[in-house]
Structure 1
Amino acid sequence: MGVEVNGIVGLLLLVANVWAIISIVQSSAGTGSKVLWSVLVLVLPVLGLIIWFFAGPRSKAS
């Protein structure tokens, strides 16, 4: 019954980072750009996710 808020926030951040990495890999950007964006999101989880959301490559339109 002692679920901590930090654990929930950490889980949400993990899910958001996985979603970002999948979206980066599926984008039409070059391989180098994909690697750099992925490293940014992995090294700086919160800041990298925010920067990617506003400036990162978009996934391919279906």
Structure 2
Amino acid sequence: MGSTFNGLVGLIILVLDIWAIINVLKSGVGLGPKILWILLILLLPVLGLIIWAIAGPRGGGSGFAPR
């Protein structure tokens, strides 16, 4: 049962990371900040997702990274 739960948690994190990357790509920030955000999300899946949720670029182009 434990491995099933761990697999489900891993799948949820993967889906959320993919969703975050798609949102970064659709944001209005420049190419450099997009690459940095995507690398952060890929290299630190859970922590990167949390940081992106708090300070990441949004669809309107606002966020941590300057345009």
Q: TM > 0.5 between the two?
A: yes
Q: RMSD value over aligned CA atoms? A: 1.6
Shift, 1:60, TM fit: 3.4
Partner of 1:9: 9
Matches within 5 A, 1:34-49: 34-49=34-49
One-letter amino acid of the counterpart of residue 52, structure 1: W
Unaligned runs of 5+ in 1: none
One-letter amino acid of the counterpart of residue 33, structure 2: S
Q: Supply the distance in 1 between the matched residues of 2:24 and 2:60 (Cα, whole angstroms).
A: 10
Give CA deviations for 1:11-41 in whole Å, capped at 9, x if unaligned.
Answer: 0000000000000000000100000000000
Partner of 1:26: 26
One-letter amino acid of the counterpart of residue 49, structure 1: L
Structure 1 moving runs of 4+ over 4 Å:
none
TM-score (norm 2): 0.84
Q: Supply the distance in 2 between the matched residues of 1:22 and 1:59 (Cα, whole angstroms).
A: 10
Unaligned runs of 5+ in 2: 62-67
